[in-house]
């Protein structure tokens, strides 16, 4: 899972290329990649298209969900829908496991957002059709674990899984590594993958969470792509001659960052 690229202009292009190149070198090859929101800074068509052009060239499926920064400055997701498709909530299956992608945003709200009734109704319907013993993983942008940026109705979302085998919830938005245990579930946030936005757990390394299932158990660990400013060397070492683009878990913290630097 990778989140919070906050792509804003062509100054982010080389860094984004280095992130994509890093993912493309993974062996064994991942079954899929999830971009867990805040793909862009302003939800502008050029920003959204640049990210899709970069990641959809990977040799495995890529799934996206919107973050609060992926709606435009007027609070509309129309640009996002035009590039990534009209469906914000969806489900896919891999190797007998179910993966649910849930839109957790309320426009561009950073704090005290509420998961919409539309998303909750969709989730209820999906769970009603799933065998209770089947492993389920949920992806959201806003964190559902213990975090002051969680939606105000995060507990209502979690309660819907009371009779299901929820293994993990993977989220962005916080820009730091955190982990909350809820019975047999782990609720996780990852560091951001942005060239210019900072992390909130004291780290200056950017990257993604690499998940694996071994002996029926889901695990994850942070993979560092590096530090912004080193992407030219990183890209040259991973993919010589790569063309430029045009347009488990470490302990974390959820203490409050300084104002105006999150989300």
Render each residue's pLDDT in the chain as its tens digit; 263 residues: 999 999 999 999 999 999 999 999 999 999 999 999 999 999 999 999 999 999 999 999 999 999 999 999 999 999 999 999 999 999 999 999 999 999 999 999 999 999 999 999 999 999 999 999 999 999 999 999 999 999 999 999 999 999 999 999 999 999 999 999 998 899 999 999 999 999 999 999 999 999 999 988 999 999 999 888 877 655 656 544 433 333 333 333 333 333 344 56
* CB-count exposure of residue 110 (10 Å: 0-12, 13-18, 19+): middle
C-beta of residue 55 within 8 angstroms of C-beta of residue 21:
no
Q: CB-based contacts of 250: which residues, under 8 Å, 6+ apart?
A: 177, 222
Report how far residue 218's alpha carbon sits from residue 223's, in angstroms, rounded to the nearest whole number. 16
247 within domain boundaries: no
253 within domain boundaries: no
C-beta of residue 113 within 8 angstroms of C-beta of residue 142:
yes
260 within domain boundaries: no
Q: Helix, strand or coil for residue 208?
A: strand
Report how far residue 80's alpha carbon sits from residue 243's, in angstroms, rounded to the nearest whole number. 26
252 within domain boundaries: no
- Other beta carbons within 10 angstroms of residue 147's beta carbon come to 20
The domain tally of the chain equals: 1
142 within domain boundaries: yes
244 within domain boundaries: no
Q: Which domain holds residue 27?
A: 10-238
Report the DSSP pairing between strands 135-140 and 165-171. parallel
Percent pLDDT > 90 in the chain is 83
> Residue 66 corresponds to which tokens in the numbers above?
């919107």
Report how far residue 206's alpha carbon sits from residue 199's, in angstroms, rounded to the nearest whole number. 8
Q: What is the pLDDT of residue 253?
A: 34
- Give the helix/strand (H/E) hosting 187: strand 185-189
Q: What is the pLDDT of residue 237?
A: 61
Q: pTM, whole model, 2 decimals?
A: 0.89
Report how far residue 82's alpha carbon sits from residue 72's, in angstroms, rounded to the nearest whole number. 12
Domain CATH code at residue 113:
3.60.21.10
Report how far residue 64's alpha carbon sits from residue 153's, in angstroms, rounded to the nearest whole number. 22
> Residue 48 corresponds to which tokens in the numbers above?
């959204």
249 within domain boundaries: no
224 within domain boundaries: yes
């Amino acid at each position: 899972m990778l989140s919070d690229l906050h792509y804003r202009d062509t100054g982010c292009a080389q860094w984004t290329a280095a992130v994509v190149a890093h993912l493309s070198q993974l062996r064994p090859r991942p079954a899929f990649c999830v971009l867990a929101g805040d793909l862009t800074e302003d939800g502008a068509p050029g920003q959204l298209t640049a990210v899709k052009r970069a990641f959809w060239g990977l040799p495995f499926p890529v799934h996206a969900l919107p973050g609060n920064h992926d709606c435009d400055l007027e609070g509309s997701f129309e640009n996002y829908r035009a590039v990534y498709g009209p469906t914000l909530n969806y489900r896919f299956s891999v190797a007998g496991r179910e993966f649910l992608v849930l839109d957790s945003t309320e426009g561009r709200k950073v704090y005290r957002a509420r998961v919409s009734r539309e998303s909750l109704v969709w989730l209820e319907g999906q769970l009603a059709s799933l065998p209770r013993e089947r492993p389920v993983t949920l992806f959201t942008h806003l964190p559902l674990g213990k975090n002051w940026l969680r939606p105000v109705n995060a507990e209502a979302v979690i309660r819907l899984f009371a009779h299901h085998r929820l293994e993990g919830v993977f989220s962005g938005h916080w820009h730091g590594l955190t982990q909350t245990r809820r019975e047999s579930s782990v609720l996780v946030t990852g560091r951001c993958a942005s060239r210019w936005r900072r992390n909130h757990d004291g780290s200056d390394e950017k990257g993604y969470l690499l998940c694996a299932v071994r002996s029926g158990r889901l695990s994850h660990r942070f993979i560092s792509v590096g530090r912004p400013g080193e992407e030219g060397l990183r890209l040259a070492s991973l993919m010589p001659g790569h063309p430029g683009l045009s347009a488990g878990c470490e302990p974390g913290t959820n203490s409050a960052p300084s104002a105006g630097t999150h989300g």
